[in-house]
Amino acid sequence: MKTYIVPHAHKLNLKDYTVLIVDDHPTNLKIAVDYLEDCGLTVLVSQDGESALRRAKFANPNLILLDVLMPGIDGFETCCRLKADPETEDIPVIFMTALASTEDKVKGFEVGAVDYVTKPIQHEEVLARITTHLQIQALYQKVEEQNQNLQQKVIERTAELSQALADLQQSQIQLVQSEKMSALGQLVAGVAHEINNPLSCLTGNLQHATEYIQDLLEHLHLYQQQLNPPGDSITTHAKDIELDYLTDDLPKVILSLQEATQRIHDISKSLYHFSHSDTSKKVTFDLHQGLESTLTILKHRFKANQYRADIDMIKDYGNLPLVHCYPGQINQVFMNLIANAIDALDEKNINNSTFSQPIEQPRITIKTWENITQKSVIVSIKDNGLGMSENLQEKIFSHLFTTKPIGKGTGLGLSISRQIIVDKHQGRLNCISELGKGSEFMIELPV
């Protein structure tokens, strides 16, 4: 076997490449095929443009040697069709032609060829041009691959940066919110302390006042018994001051004051629990205590207003174990969810206030139970307010999303609540709602 010198071929393993030769002269084909196969290339042949198009599409060769002058469609037309087909447009085409004019060569490049060799062809020149363009094609494919990889890395990096930015924004919001809650906790603790001092004095003195008034009423009753009938001046004064009404109403006034001071005491106690539950580490916590403190602070909002009646508060508490958590954060979630439930009831009744049909009694139901199988506890907060559509339910936990009017909602409450439950406590916060039938938020925390 004759040995040929292959210029630059050492840079390529020619056994990995396939060349399609298109020529209508069998003798030319055989000589070219023998030479190129001896050099290691896999060679396919076609004797006209139509069959070349079909073979190129089926075999997808790495390069095509294309004769210009052929019966049927010539080489120029064949090249045009190859470049018009997305499956073959990237295959390099080298023309083999006896046409030596500059015009013919330019036309070859215009229809998409990458090079040309003139007939009679020199085998070493053909192999050198084939090798060169295979190397160019390989480099082009490598650049394309690297470009795609780079684009993918840019996309992935952009996504990572976008996620990092979103996480940073969320962390900043959470930090600001935490700082606000911490500052609010300090303020509340101070207020609770300032309330407790005069409250203790008021409670103690009120107890003494109750005893004193009771003694005075009893003493007055003895006078009435001893001075019977009393003098005219006493009788007239008793009528002027409505003595019978005073003696009957005064104990009720004292009782009302006692109830009011007890209410202040309950609020102060709830504020104290709220302010002292903001710890930097997890501790064991009674969820029911957190719920009761929240309800006490929000109690004023359960009263009737111009749009609705009093809100019925239904509590169905199960036996819950203590939960290892951040109490301040859990109380914040309770506050957000219960306040949202009250807002939903207000909104429902505002929207229905112009209609004549009877309005359903506003109601919030809080239910707790332990899921022993899942080793978790569940708190359900349910209202019979407006409810939400499925589309709205998909958005409610999104950052800065709110359905409330400007100035009444920040769009942070539910987003932060989910972050607290899911990210900080490895729990779950879900919403079950149906438009017109209310909403239920379910908190699940591990124990």
Q: What is the CATH number of the domain that holds 48?
A: 3.40.50.2300
Q: List helix spans (H) across 85-122.
A: 102-110
Residue 273, pLDDT score: 63
Chosen domain end from 83, 98, 121: 121
Within a domain: residue 435?
yes
Per-residue pLDDT at 294: 87
Q: How many domains does the chain have?
A: 2
Task: Note the pLDDT of residue 299.
Answer: 86
The verdict on residue 2 lying in a domain is: no
> What CATH number does residue 282 fall under?
3.30.565.10
Which residues of the chain are under the pLDDT cut of 70?
Answer: 1-11, 170-194, 269-280, 351-359, 393, 395, 397-413
| pLDDT for position 12 | 75
State the residue range of the domain holding 44: 9-121
Our CA angle for 298, 299, 305, nearest 5°, is 100
Does residue 265 belong to any structural domain of this protein?
A: no
What was the pLDDT predicted at 407?
A: 46
- Domain-ending residue, one of 71, 100, 121: 121
In a domain, 419, yes or no: yes
413 belongs to a structural domain: yes
| Residue 7, pLDDT score | 46
Residue-level pLDDT at 334 = 92
Query: Domain ends where: 73, 101, 121?
Result: 121
Question: Long-range contact list for 152-158, CB < 8 A, 24+ apart?
Answer: none
Q: How many CB atoms lie within 10 A of CB 93?
A: 25
Strand partners, 366: 315, 381
Beta bridge partners of 118: 97
The pLDDT value recorded for residue 10 is 45
Is residue 173 situated within a structural domain? no
Question: Does 321 fall in a domain?
Answer: yes
- N- to C-terminal Cα distance for the chain? 83
Q: Using one digit for the tens of pLDDT, what is the confidence trace for 143-164?
A: 989 999 999 999 988 888 888 8
What was the pLDDT predicted at 357?
53
237 in any annotated domain: no
